[in-house]
Structure 1
Amino acid sequence: MKIAKLSCVDLHWRDDGDPDGVPVVFANSLGTDLRLWDKVIDRLPAWGLRLIRFDKRGHGLSSCPASPYSLEDLAGDTEEFLEQIGVTSCLFVGLSIGGMIGQLLAARRPQLVKGLVLSNTGAKMGEAAMWQDRISRIRTGGIESLGDAILERWFSAGFRQSGEAIAWRNMLTRTPAEGYIGCCEAIAGTDLTALTSALRLPVLGIGGSEDLASPPDLVRATTALVPGSRYVEIEAAGHLPCVEQPDRFTGHLKTFFKEDLRVETI
């Protein structure tokens, strides 16, 4: 296991694929860790791409600073992490809050992010009052008290009946409450509409037809803020299509990398 010791947090991370390949950085959703991308990593080429994953602050095996967090904190962690491991240019794949991190990072460091995948995310995700209500409920009853409701937003009805869904529920409920709350506060305080509208880079938006957390219309509208972007929608998938429909999800990544970004190794 690898730990990057940053100025404000220790980030757990993993490096797969070709160490000399094109860096592809994956950023996770709220309440998940870097295992979110296991099925995608397994389906991408073993050479030509350097596949980098990390647990954001307060999640997985990373340290958990006291909340509140801001999106600037999370993007700053990511920027410092990439500098520490020597990444000066990358393709960035972000899901949910990971997609928000990607939008802000691309705005702050346009030379760093050469292509951006916005999966199940938005420039603004929900209203502050909704997030504050969730925070209050977690402080009272813990993440466990919201586990079933969150899974309904994450996964299609069919997937929720599978044994695998139990493991994802366990991952969610074992997330440190302080880390989860901190990231909720970061989302609640963020509207990236103006910054994302100013982006000028290749962007692929990916929605899930049954996503209740970031509905397809939100992902489509966010993607459309960037001129020349493309949007695709994955049927029979909720908020985590890389888990429910990994073949389709990875297929869209490969097409984007090859056709829009001219990655020759795909």
Structure 2
Amino acid sequence: MKKISRFLFAATLSLTAAVALAGTPVKQDVVRYGNVQIEVNSQGKGPIIVMLPSLGRSGRDYDQVANYLQADGFRVVRPEPRGIGQSKGPMENLSVHDFAKDVAAVVEHENKGPVVVVGHAWGNFPARMLAADRPDLVRGVVLAAASAGKVPPGSTEKPINAEMRQAIDGAGDLSLSKEQRLIYLRKAFFAPGNDPAVWLNGWHDETHEAESHARNTTPVDDYFAAGTVPILDLQGEADTVAPRRFSGVLKSMLGDRVQIVVLKDAGHAMAPEQPKAMADAIATFAKTQYAKQ
């Protein structure tokens, strides 16, 4: 009987964990301001974590990460960039300031005070810009698999060289063969041994172009420091886009408000590779920031 009771107890715990991970259904809303509307996917209750996606990709890439964060007691809010889903607005000649303004409208709509913002890969630029432009809305930023935008003093390299830029852009170029795109995905986004095929789909060309233009035309110093908020620099151990040789740039230039955490067996994609580890690192940082309230 005791063995049966222990079995039932363990089964109940497993079921509870599974239900928590599955989360409640994601709620979809649209936030409007001026001639812009932003689709927002949200779930959970508690302190807010806003997640911004990678170049030309949707916030739905972080479904697993969001479920873990929800299970940990957070409300996860994922605005879609313009050109994805119901998110619409001008797409020409945008700056990173414009993309940050879209996120600001979403945070204001939540009306819960300053929040923690996670910017993955390209998403780290508007995350930092939001902290710089609207310090009233941000209490901390997580820069996940983020190119700092600068290189160590004395280096003649670019933050992202031409060869890597070709791989990043080629991964989402649907005019290329599947085989070539897989080569680019392995090179730029995934750690050795991780499956790049999970990112063959989910690319949005118009958004990719608009975000690339914003990155190329907005001065790095506009967003580099992320205002004055605490920063978690969440790095993938095998990230080739934001490589280890540049891993100390943010901390060396911004000092003690930057904390570095390195995820093993993770490349630039990070979320599909290590969703639990990514969520745990974000949650630990967010709890610290909200505890200061």
The interval holding the TM-score normalised by the smaller chain is 0.7 to 0.9
The one-letter code matched in structure 2 to 1:159 is N
Establish whether residue 226 from structure 1 lines up as the match of residue 257 from structure 2: no
Residue 51 of structure 1 is matched in structure 2 by: 76
The alignment yields a C-alpha RMSD, in angstroms, of 2.9
The correspondence for 1:96, drawn from 121, 126, 130, is 121
Distance in 1 of aligned mates of 2:38 and 2:91: 15
Gaps of 5+ in 2: 1-27, 151-157
Residue 282 of structure 2 is matched in structure 1 by: 253
Residue 189 of structure 1 is matched in structure 2 by: 217
Query: Stretches of 4+ moved more than 6 A in 1?
Result: none
Establish whether residue 120 from structure 1 lines up as the match of residue 145 from structure 2: yes
The correspondence for 1:151, drawn from 179, 185, 201, is 185
Q: Indicate conservation of the 8 Å contact 2:233/2:259, yes or no.
A: yes
Q: Structure 2 length normalisation: TM-score?
A: 0.74
Establish whether residue 166 from structure 1 lines up as the match of residue 173 from structure 2: no
User: How many residue pairs were aligned?
Assistant: 250
The one-letter code matched in structure 2 to 1:89 is P
Note the C-alpha offset of 1:181: 0.8
The DSSP-based 3-state class of the residue aligned with 1:226 is: helix
The one-letter code matched in structure 2 to 1:182 is A
Note the C-alpha offset of 1:47: 6.9
Structure 1 residues 88, 23: closer, same or farther in 2, change over 3 A? Answer: same
Distance in 2 of aligned mates of 1:87 and 1:259: 17
Q: Indicate conservation of the 8 Å contact 1:89/1:112, yes or no.
A: yes
Identity between Structure 1 and Structure 2 (%): 26
Larger deviation, residues 39-48 vs 182-191: 39-48
Structure 1 residues 218, 95: closer, same or farther in 2, change over 3 A? Answer: farther
The one-letter code matched in structure 2 to 1:242 is A
Distance in 2 of aligned mates of 1:142 and 1:84: 35
Distance in 1 of aligned mates of 2:91 and 2:281: 37
The one-letter code matched in structure 2 to 1:147 is R
The one-letter code matched in structure 2 to 1:4 is V
Q: Indicate conservation of the 8 Å contact 2:182/2:197, yes or no.
A: no
- Give per-residue Cα distances to partners, 1:135-178, cap 9 Å, x unaligned: xx88xx95443733541211123123xxxx43421112xx1x22
Gaps of 5+ in 1: none
Q: Indicate conservation of the 8 Å contact 1:121/1:218, yes or no.
A: no
The one-letter code matched in structure 2 to 1:98 is G
Q: Structure 1 length normalisation: TM-score?
A: 0.81
The correspondence for 2:268, drawn from 239, 242, 249, is 239
Establish whether residue 13 from structure 1 lines up as the match of residue 40 from structure 2: yes
The DSSP-based 3-state class of the residue aligned with 2:193 is: helix
The correspondence for 1:28, drawn from 47, 53, 57, is 53
Q: Indicate conservation of the 8 Å contact 1:27/1:53, yes or no.
A: yes
Residue 29 of structure 2 is matched in structure 1 by: 2
The one-letter code matched in structure 1 to 2:263 is I
Note the C-alpha offset of 1:234: 1.2
- Give per-residue Cα distances to partners, 1:73-107, cap 9 Å, x unaligned: 11111112222342431111111121111111101
Q: Indicate conservation of the 8 Å contact 1:120/1:219, yes or no.
A: no
The correspondence for 1:203, drawn from 219, 226, 231, is 231
Q: Indicate conservation of the 8 Å contact 2:189/2:240, yes or no.
A: yes
